[in-house]
A = this chain, B = another copy of it.
Amino acid sequence: MLFTPSPLLIDTLRQRRKKLSYLIDFPALLWSGCAVSRNFPANIYSFRASSHFLYFAGFPLENAAIRLDQGRLELFMDDPPEGSTLWHGEMPQRNQIAEFIGADAHYSLKELSNYLQDAATIVVQDPITASEQRQLLNCPLVSASEPKGIDLELTNAIITLRLIHDEVALNELRQAAEVSVEAHKAGIKATKTAQLEAQIRAAMEGVIISHNMTCSYNSIVTVQGEVLHNNHYHHPLKTGDLLLADVGAETEMGWAADITRTWPVSGTFSSTQRDIYQVVLKAHDICIDSIRPGIEYEDIHRMAATVIAEGLVELGILNGSPEDLVEQDAHALFFPHGIGHLLGLDVHDMEDLGDLAGYEPGRVRSQRFGWCFLRLNRPLQPGMLVTIEPGFYQVPAILNNSENREKYQKQVNWERLEQFADVRGIRIEDDILVTEKGTEILTKNLPTSIEEIEALIQQ
């Protein structure tokens, strides 16, 4: 972690807390959290500060808290313990850190107990800090997804701010996207010589590590693309397989990217793989082209579902009109998840808050097959960053389900489908910023077309 004072960062942090002060009239206390032990106390998982803390404090300070009140920032943390220089080197002192982040005052953690009054908070993820929060504030904070009273007010105010990215955030998000693009290129190029999924993963994560970033989530690099959150990497790469890679970087300040590409191990898509890929790519392109301020994200999802249904009708896999098929949820047999989600400091931005950020107030998740996994349901506004990630999967648990077989007897041409057995999972995912004029594709430097991807593999 390089702590470098930046006037732009300090000014941005000031703007953020000023905006917060317009939205709430009580102090907010945000904790960063502490590192979590892996198998013994000194062997920790790489520390990740709470995203809400990061948004206002800028730096991933460990075991710190900030109090935001009427535009003021007060920092609470202890100086490094004596003797820690031997193990951890010279660390900046609290007063230096306070300067770097533009704090108005700074105190030891012990002092925190004098600054609790009337303060709202959001519960952090690590259970130890969460328990400290509960104890200090003497309240039964259940989880960040079910805030009450002023905690709910604070949560809604922070959502309002974090939904719309400022220039400092966008600068970080563009860097994360850029490095993720390079990671995917490295993965695609490694295919020629790799024997195992793990080797492709290594090529991709190597790029992220070499840029001093971390993975914003556990990578998916699999020939079993139909397993949506597959975190195994032991399969051999076989000619005829499609490889699905969902890998993204996160900057040191915590800002995330999220990209998926799917490509053939052999270097060449089979004709069936090509057919389905083109359907998914068409959905991807149309969705991105349709994004503009004011459009409902749910409509983008419906658009993807319709384009996929239409493509599958053209391929003889589905029967009927695309609109009817979507009405009957038949698309969800092959595209069961949502078209995407918010992206920011979290790869599913603010998912710690349940659906409070993802869903416009008053809206609740549908229970319907294919709609229940839609993580975002809001009208899009300039400054929002979202993913667009249509897919096609042959999930045995869905397609072999006897109820589905019965229900979609007429809609699906099961015999025809068998001819597409070499298409287990395809997803194409990019990161799209909503702008006043339409969109900026942060991940545009990574090709999506069959020709360009095949060329990259064969390079």
Contact = CB atoms under 8 A, between A and B. Distances in A.
A201 interface: yes
Interface stretch (A16-24, A161-169, A297-305, A340-348): A340-348
B209 A398 contact: no
Contacts of A228: 86-87
Contacts of A44: 218
Taken together, the copies of this chain in the complex come to 2
B125 A351 contact: no
Contacts of A48: 38-39
A397 B210 contact: no
Contacts of A396: 85, 90
A84 to B, nearest CB: 9
Given A39-B346, A198-B211, A212-B234, A395 B85 contact: yes
A148 to B, nearest CB: 19
Interface in A1-50: 1-2, 36-46, 48, 50
Interface in A213-255: 217-218, 224, 226-234, 254
A89 B227 contact: yes
A127 interface: yes
Contacts of A201: 209-210
B126 A217 contact: no
A205 interface: yes
B50 A39 contact: yes
Given A42-B348, A198-B210, A211-B198, A125 B37 contact: yes
A136 interface: no
B40 A348 contact: yes
Interface string A46-68: 10101100000000000000000
A125 B38 contact: yes
A349 to B, nearest CB: 9
A336 interface: yes
A42 B85 CA distance: 35
Interface string A245-282: 00000000010000000000000000000000000000
A126 B36 contact: yes
A234 B2 contact: yes
A352 interface: yes
Nearest to A256: B39
A125 B86 contact: no
Interface of A: 1-2, 36-46, 48, 50-51, 85-90, 125-128, 131, 196, 198-199, 201-203, 205-212, 217-218, 224, 226-234, 254, 336, 345-348, 350-352, 395-398
Given A38-B125, A39-B352, A88-B227, 9 more contacts: A1-B232, A36-B126, A40-B346, A41-B352, A42-B351, A43-B347, A85-B396, A90-B397, A203-B210
